[in-house]
Amino acid sequence: MKELSLTKTKQTQEDKNRQKELIDSGVVPEHIAIIMDGNGRWAQSKGNIRLFGHKVGVDSVRDITEACAQLGVKFLTLYAFSTENWGRPSAEVRGLMRLLVSSLRKEADNLHRNNIRLVTIGQMDRFPDDCIKELDEAISLTKDNTGLELCLALSYSGRWDITEAVKKIAKHVEEGRLAPNLINDQMIGDHLSTASIPDPDLIIRTSGEYRISNFLLWQLAYSELYITELYWPDFRRNELYEAIQSFQKRDRRFGKVRKKNKDEISN
Ligand code: IPE
Ligand code: IPE
Ligand code: MG
């Protein structure tokens, strides 16, 4: 197993064994997407301000990213800030931007040392200049890395993504380069911000909310859902292992019938 460390602590033998067990017991999802929810409630339940929850949430990001890299997950997409989150009080939005800049400053070298490639999806031009600068630097530093791809969804919404794809495709039609009847789902997928990434195998949402909140609407068509009551700052690698274990027990049929049933029907 790869020796990777983003967290300052050395990986325990117990954790290495747990990861080995998971890898041996079934398929580890190639792409995991996470709706990291519940930072505010976590902080408030401890009598703290919401921003404190966002801060501790960064520790969960570090731990989950490291565990995913160690497990050989290829893509990890984290919903960090939605289009709708711009509508929060300006002090919270400003606090989140500051946290993004300081976290990137602290973690970029670490990501690079661990062979992790950072990318983003979303409407980046809505971000303040210092955020864009920090993100661009981290993206360009890590662009040739071949390990885990860490994709941050920032100012992202599924409807925005689909709308942008529709505009691009409409332009091809307008320019006479595409006949409308040639538009198919593959082509739409190829015009989304996630064009180079396979659809998520597993989508995790923390904080016990049973909704997608405008995340990867198109891409989640056949993703397995895992919802936990835990708030994001409490979601660490052991909970991730439980989610993967649950994924490994699923029967992904993609609208077809199970192999066993297929045999029964043809008999
Ligand atoms: C998720 O936690 C982080 C972001 C959406 C930026 P929240 O801030 O939504 O926390 P809750 O859900 O209000 O507790
Ligand atoms: C979803 O959480 C967005 C992110 C985790 C970035 P929200 O807190 O914004 O979603 P709702 O309001 O509970 O649907
Ligand atoms: Mg929330």
Instruction: Classify residue 172 as exposed, middle or buried by CB count within 10 Å of its CB (0-12, 13-18, 19+).
Output: middle
pTM of the predicted model, to two decimals?
0.95
Give a yes or no: residue 257 inside a domain.
Answer: no
Give a yes or no: residue 259 inside a domain.
Answer: no
Q: Residue 5: what pLDDT?
A: 72
Pocket test for ligand 2, best of 58, 97, 213 (most atoms within 8 A of CB): 213
Please tell me the distance from the alpha carbon of residue 216 to that of residue 31, in angstroms, as a whole number: 13
Strands 31-35 and 75-82, sheet pairing: parallel
CB atoms within 10 A of CB 262: 11
Ligand 1 pocket check for 247: Cβ under 6 Å: no
227 C-alpha to center of ligand 3: Å? 14
Nearest atom within ligand 2 for CA of residue 37 = 5
Give a yes or no: residue 118 inside a domain.
Answer: yes
Q: pLDDT (tens digit, 0 to 9) for every residue of the chain, 267 residues total?
A: 446 677 767 999 999 999 999 999 999 999 999 999 999 999 999 999 999 999 999 999 999 999 999 999 999 999 999 999 999 999 999 999 999 999 999 999 999 999 999 999 999 999 999 999 999 999 999 999 999 999 999 999 999 999 999 999 999 999 999 999 999 999 999 999 999 999 999 999 999 999 999 999 999 999 999 999 999 999 999 999 999 999 999 999 999 998 766 666 665
Q: Residue 3: what pLDDT?
A: 61
- The CA-to-CA distance between both ends of the chain, in Å, stands at 44
Nearest atom within ligand 2 for CA of residue 209 = 13
Q: Are 68 and 76 in contact (CB under 8 A)?
A: yes
Q: Residue 1: what pLDDT?
A: 46
Instruction: List the CATH number of the domain containing 219.
Output: 3.40.1180.10
Ligand 1 pocket check for 38: Cβ under 6 Å: yes
Give a yes or no: residue 104 inside a domain.
Answer: yes
Give a yes or no: residue 54 inside a domain.
Answer: yes
CB atoms within 10 A of CB 147: 19
Structural domain that includes position 205? 27-157+199-250
Ligand 1 pocket check for 52: Cβ under 6 Å: no
62 C-alpha to center of ligand 3: Å? 19
Pocket test for ligand 2, best of 35, 78, 82 (most atoms within 8 A of CB): 82
Q: Residue 7: what pLDDT?
A: 73
Ligand 1 pocket check for 60: Cβ under 6 Å: no
Lining ligand 2 with CB less than 6 A are 35-37, 79-82, 84-85, 209, 211, 213
- Please tell me the residue having the least CA distance from ligand 1 atom 6: 81
Nearest ligand (C-alpha, residue 205) = 2
Burial string for 218-240 (b: 16+ CB within 10 Å, else e) reads bbbeebbebbbebbbbbbbbebb
Give a yes or no: residue 162 inside a domain.
Answer: no
Give a yes or no: residue 174 inside a domain.
Answer: no
Nearest atom within ligand 2 for CA of residue 35 = 5
Pocket test for ligand 1, best of 35, 36, 37, 82 (most atoms within 8 A of CB): 37
User: In the annotation, is 85 catalytic?
Assistant: yes
149 C-alpha to center of ligand 2: Å? 23
Give a yes or no: residue 183 inside a domain.
Answer: no
User: In the annotation, is 37 catalytic?
Assistant: yes
User: In total, how many domains does the chain have?
Assistant: 1
Nearest atom within ligand 2 for CA of residue 156 = 6
